Amino acid sequence: MSPERIETGDRVFLRYASRESNDKAIFVSHSRFLPIKYFNGTAKLTLPEGLSVSYYIRRGEKLGSWSMLRIYNRLQGSASDEVMPFSQTYQGKTRIENLSLRPISEGTVSLSMMRSPPDYSYDLIVPVQPAETRHLIDLAQRYHYHDLQILGCRARRLSN
């Protein structure tokens, strides 16, 4: 399945659609919170009403490639015996951190293993270039996603 190239403002994402019309997506990237965002007023953003965002890692931890793949397969319904790890869900009107999102390399997680077949439950979204959570929220609104599952680190950094 070939990806659809999506531009939100000046940022680019790839979308691997699992169904013609789907309201659920899994987003995979490296994520970092940069404290400088507190100084320029972009540290937090409010989720729009009707959007649910779930993270599968505690703040400051890392998510390994195989763990990410197991969670992905469990969400897609192809590994129902897998135990889901920690997850935290935020819903509309909640304030969340505006993380810096970085593309994953092909070697980090085999994207070819994560391509969404037509019968999978979730679309797969990956960034092509650095972006922020606000760009992902814009994309979710554009495609009418109601359920966004984010697989990636939530580490804090003091510098770029």
Global confidence as pTM: 0.81
Alpha helices by DSSP H, 78-150: 111-114, 133-142
- Each residue of 75-100: pLDDT tens digit? 887 655 555 667 788 887 888 888 88
Q: Assess contact for 124 and 16: CB atoms under 8 A.
A: yes
Instruction: Tally DSSP H helices, then E strands, for the chain.
Output: 4, 13
Domain boundaries, the chain: 4-156
- Each residue of 18-66: pLDDT tens digit? 777 789 998 888 777 777 777 777 788 899 999 998 887 766 666 667 7
Nearest by Cα to 122 from 20, 25, 52, 28: 25
Residue with token string 């790890």: 85
For residue 147, what are the β-bridge partners? 24, 52
